[in-house]
Amino acid sequence: TVLVTASPAASVIAGAEAMGISEGDIFGIRLAVDDRGRTTGEMHPSMPVSWNEGKPEALRAAGLGGRVMFAAGNSIDDVPMLLMAKQERLMITSAAADGALVGESESTALLRKIAEENNFILHQPND
């Protein structure tokens, strides 16, 4: 199991480790650190930026490109990663309790269309 996120890796490590995912299996935004241990605000030079096309790039760099069986996402930027999954692809969209989409924008409509065209499992949780 790996976790791929466009969030800073440091912000998800504790939660991921609590779920049994080790830090080495977390692919998130990693910032460069200076010689005093402070982040520089620059991206870590040896890590792909795990956003949009960078998500599958990070998985391929880790040798997992052809081995992704399941992927889940909740934004248009997750589509490249979802498309590389060999078996199941889950797209989560926001929905109201009555099932109506909350403020469906053009990007949400596009996301739903992509999900339908690619046979993603489409989940609209009721809050």
Number of domains in the chain: 2
The verdict on 42 and 78 lying in the same domain is no
Banded model confidence at residue 104, pLDDT cuts 50, 70, 90 = low
Q: Is residue 60 part of a domain?
A: no
DSSP states of 51-79 as a string?
STTHHHHHHHHTT-TTT--EEEESSGGGH
Q: What pLDDT is recorded for position 107?
A: 72
The verdict on 40 and 78 lying in the same domain is no
Q: Is residue 72 part of a domain?
A: yes
The verdict on 74 and 121 lying in the same domain is yes
For 34, phi then psi, to 5°, come to -80, 180
The verdict on 32 and 74 lying in the same domain is no
Q: In sequence order, what are the residues at sequence separation of 6 or more whose Cβ sits closer than 8 angstroms to the Cβ of residue 18? A: none
Q: Is residue 63 part of a domain?
A: no
Q: Is residue 55 part of a domain?
A: no
In this prediction the pTM is: 0.81
Cα gap 47→100, rounded to integer Å = 39
User: Per-residue pLDDT for 15 more than 60?
Assistant: yes
Q: Which domain holds residue 98?
A: 68-127
Q: Is residue 38 part of a domain?
A: yes
The verdict on 22 and 75 lying in the same domain is no
Q: What pLDDT is recorded for position 56?
A: 96
Q: Is residue 58 part of a domain?
A: no
Q: Rounded to 5, what percent of the chain is helix, strand, coil? A: 30, 25, 40
